[in-house]
Amino acid sequence: MPLSARKFLKSVSGSFAPLLAILLIPMVAALGFSIDYTSAVSTRASMQNALDAASLSITTLATDTSLADRQVKLQEAYLANGGQGTAKLDSFVVATDGAASIKASAGFAMPTNFMQIARINTVQVGVASAVTKRPALVEATFKVDKVSGYWNKTMTLYGTKFTETNANKLMKIVYTYNGYGDPKGYGTSSVYTINGTTETLVQKQVCTTTTVTSFYGLPTTTITQTSGTRKYATTCVNTMYPANGAGAVIDVSLMDQLYLRMDVPSGNPTVLKSNDPATSNRLYADGVEIASGTTVDIFSLVPCGQTSAQAWEDGGNPVPAAISNADFFYGVTGKCAFNQRASETLLTQ
């Protein structure tokens, strides 16, 4: 070992202490900068979570909410979710088909602790969020096709509005058996829209059955049945109110939940519900029977701009069963646009 090195190691004069102090300054600064950096990373993560939650929350506001009010709600939700600094609604665009896209950002000048040594008093932390929202059901139109069976029954559409807990009746279809005695048993169906306590008749279907000696020459719309040697011919006449009406047109844009219920006083079970996993399997959608144990979401069961052919087996036959055993046939047409329901929303950034 060189002589100078040995002398340095053996030195007790204290000349090394100032050097060590000088070396500690950048070491402490580096450690402090690391602590400030870690704090900034943690702050950014919490800001991102808060902005994402706030961006999602403003998509559930009423459709006529102004951009200024959405900005206020965005900031309120951002702070409520632990965000720091200011959130900004950069854009909220609703396309003609009802699809929405939302972009937001947030910034915060985070105070530093150790970086102030280098005269860096704050560090700017920024985050961004983007949300897309698909069009959702805002209107459903119900129209009876054919209803049969020896049992009287009523199908009712219930809806629960946003921020409310009680379901209200929105539409009902009342069926009364005509008592003729034909195999399927056809009768009269009346379709009503319901607004509070007011019921409005929008469609009435009266089915009349007779016995015939031959099916030859009957109109193509005639329902034919055979039992033993007897032949039955059934004719159903629809009357719409008004005459050019489409059926029961139901505004569901303010509804957070929808379900169908069928009451069959003589059936077993007597109550069938689309949101009851024990009975929803008696509902058919476009020829397919709902799987047992399923809770049906009516919003997803009604396609946008199309008609879904649906049916119920009212309890006279065990399920699963072919759709030919069903008794209550109707069509429901969906209209979609921007909607408050959160389930149609997706974070994209």
Per domain, the residue ranges of the chain are 15-133, 137-343
* CB atoms closer than 10 angstroms to residue 313: 25
Is 219's pLDDT higher than 80? Answer: yes
Q: For residues 78 and 55, is the Cβ–Cβ distance under 8 A?
A: no
What pLDDT, on a 0 to 100 scale, did the predictor assign at position 17?
Answer: 53
> What mean pLDDT do residues 17-40 have?
59
Alpha carbon 278 to its chain centroid, in Å, reads 22
End-to-end CA distance of the chain: 62
- In whole angstroms, what is the distance from residue 86 CA to residue 194 CA? 46
Q: Which two tokens stand for residue 46?
A: 């919490």
Residues in the chain: 349
Q: Which two tokens stand for residue 336?
A: 């979609």
Is 114's pLDDT higher than 90? Answer: no
Q: Which two tokens stand for residue 110?
A: 């985070």
More confident of the two residues 123 and 8: 123
- Secondary structure class of 38 (helix, strand, coil): helix
Percent over 90 (pLDDT), the chain = 66
The tally of CA atoms less than 13 A away on the side-chain side of residue 114 is 16
Q: What angle do CA 55, 92, 100 make, to 5 degrees?
A: 90
Q: Which residues pair with 204 in a beta bridge?
A: 190, 239
Task: Indicate the pairing of strand 223-227 with strand 230-240.
Answer: antiparallel
The DSSP code sequence of 314-339 is -SSS-SS--GGG--EEEEEEEEEE--
269 upstream amide cis, omega within 30 of 0 = yes
pLDDT digits (tens, 9 = 90+) for 139-171: 999 999 999 999 999 999 999 998 899 999 999
- In whole angstroms, what is the distance from residue 60 CA to residue 98 CA? 14
pTM (two decimals): 0.78
C-alpha separations of 242 from 187, 203, 204, 306 in Å: 22, 9, 11, 22
Position 242 confidence tier, pLDDT thresholds 50, 70, 90:
very high
> What mean pLDDT do residues 274-282 have?
95
What pLDDT, on a 0 to 100 scale, did the predictor assign at position 111?
Answer: 85
Alpha carbon 314 to its chain centroid, in Å, reads 27
Residue showing tokens 């700017």: 124
